[in-house]
Amino acid sequence: MTTWLIKGARILGGEAADLLLADGRIAQIGRGLSEAGAQVLDADGLVALPGLVDLHTHLREPGREDAETVETGTQAAALGGFTAVHAMANTDPVADTAGVVEQVWRLGREAGHCDVHPVGAVTVGLAGERLAELGAMADSAARVRVFSDDGKCVSDAVLMRRALEYVKAFDGVIAQHAQEPRLTEDAQMNEGELSGVLGLRGWPAVAEEAIIARDVLLAAHVGSRLHVCHVSTAGSVEIIRWAKSRGCNVTAEVTPHHLLLTEQLVATYDPVYKVNPPLRTQEDVQALRAALADGTIDAVATDHAPHPAEDKDCEWAAAAMGMIGLETALSVVQEAMVETGLLDWAGVADRMSYRPARIGRLAEQGQPLAPGAPANLTLYDPSARWTVDPSAFASRSRNTPYQGMTLPGRVVATFLRGRPTVLDGKIA
């Protein structure tokens, strides 16, 4: 394996130092390092961050390879600075057996752009009727620790309690898509004054908040771990804050798009802004940013949801929900959190690497940049500015809400166990 010497990178945005990567590990960190035969990378002005970890990625394979594959999705992840992703279970067939999660895990290993950790379904076929093979998936080669019916809510309280109890045996976590189904039938956008003006059926905040309130109580009752997917309302933040203050073992994530975009964009009727949960109000955005800054929300997760053009380029009511986000996530977080002074780069490392890795129980990811740690890192240029052109994305789909926008920062290089997956902003 090639030895790499990274010269003059600003560790977490602080003092510049050199990093020597050898045998998949960080061998040394210091100034004026040299190593005969090492490949040298000039990182003057670049911020060194631990490799990012995404808790919420849709890779679509198996079943919807027209939208994304493990190969293209993990290329997009590497270009976004990620060294590990959790692949959601709503594939076809659903990842509800040891066989399917092992298939996704092996495809990730073969692609080699980042580690792929499959998320197992909570219920068979995501149908919400009976538990999937949680234990078999945990014992499989994929060693699944995160389970979710994402896209659908585990709305049956008894089933949710049983799932929470079951995963305790192997320190798993239930990642809930909090959406009360009866309250969101045919819902198209955030419920409020604007939904009335536009004539679109509203998606009330209480549909999310009611499920979170129920689940934190259930998790506390059985002493299990609960993770709340893509929190989107100020009320949800207050429930999670209350639960944490009582010692409940609950964690939560927010998407980059819910940190930046608001429901006002829906007034264009452009389906690229149709997402689940929906874009909310500016007040919600401010509450989510504050909660991520103070740690009430633990992590940023992309909810990267690729769709082919035929599923998005249609009238609003018929369009699929979701938007891609792996290749823009760090830039959006810089725009929403760093340039507003709410997080520094150490905070970004905590919310986009350390904490997601701990939630997913990943031993070799989300480690501080220190001698002896796995050489998983990204080098980022925060001074860059770029105009989003989805035709240049590695993702097979193009449904980004940022097309034509100028965003800050670019990933220059990504290393996975000391091997570059991205160099000079391109797949290595």
Q: What is d(CA 71, CA 113) in angstroms, rounded to the nearest whole number?
A: 8
List the binding residues.
56, 58-60, 90, 150, 177, 230, 276, 303, 307
Q: For residue 198, what are the contacts with CB-CB under 8 A and spacing of at least 6?
A: 189, 266, 267, 269
Using the 8-state DSSP alphabet, how is residue 268 labeled? Answer: G
The residues pairing with 56 across neighbouring beta strands, listed in sequence order, are none
For range 228-246, the mean pLDDT: 98
DSSP summary character for residue 320 = P
Is 66 one of the catalytic residues?
A: no
- What is the pLDDT, as a whole number, of residue 181? 97
d(Cα 222, Cα 168) in Å, to the nearest integer? 9
Q: Specify the CATH class of 4-47+373-427 in words.
A: mainly beta
For residues 89 and 148, the answer to whether their CB atoms sit within 8 Å is yes
Cα–Cα distances (Å) from 348 to 12, 59, 90, 234, in that order, read 9, 24, 28, 21
Cα separation, 183 vs 212, whole angstroms? 14
What is the pLDDT, as a whole number, of residue 217?
98
Q: Where are the domains of the chain?
A: 4-47+373-427, 50-360
The SS3 call for residue 393 is coil
Q: Check 115, 284, 298, 303 and give the catalytic one.
A: 303
Opening angle at CA 411, ends 357 and 65, nearest 5: 70
pLDDT grade, residue 119 (50/70/90)?
very high
- Report residue 331: phi and psi, to 5°: -65, -40
Residue 38 · residue 420 · CB < 8 Å: no
Element (H, E) at 288: helix 282-294
- Superfamily (CATH) of domain 50-360: Metal-dependent hydrolases (3.20.20.140)
What pLDDT score does 24 carry?
98
> How much is the average pLDDT of 236-247?
98
Query: Rg of the Cα trace of the chain?
Result: 21
Mean pLDDT of the chain: 98
The per-residue pLDDT for range 62-94, each reduced to its tens digit, is 999 999 999 999 999 999 999 999 999 999 999
Q: Which of 137, 182, 185 is closest to 163 using CA atoms?
A: 137
Determine the Cα–Cα distance for residues 59 and 77; give it in Å rounded to an integer: 10
CA distance linking residue 80 with residue 350, whole number of Å: 17
CA 281/CA 98 separation, integer angstroms: 41
DSSP secondary structure of 135-202: HHHHHSTT---EE--TTS----HHHHHHHHHHHGGGT-EEEE----TGGGTT--EE-SHHHHHHT--E
Tell me, what's the pLDDT at 85?
98
Over residues 301-325, mean pLDDT: 97
Strand partners for 82: 52
Q: Hey, CA dihedral for 55, 399, 180, 203, is it positive or negative?
A: positive
Bind-site residues for substrate? 58-60, 90, 276, 307
**For the chain, percent of residues with pLDDT exceeding 90:** 100
Strand partners, 250: 226
CA end-to-end span of the chain = 15
pTM of the model: 0.98
For residue 201, give both structure tokens: 């059926």
| pLDDT score, position 1 | 81
pLDDT tens-digit profile of 174-228? 999 999 999 999 999 999 999 999 999 999 999 999 999 999 999 999 999 999 9
Binding-site residue numbers for Zn(2+) are 56, 58, 150, 177, 230, 303
| pLDDT tens readout for residues 370-402 | 999 999 999 999 999 999 999 999 999 999 999
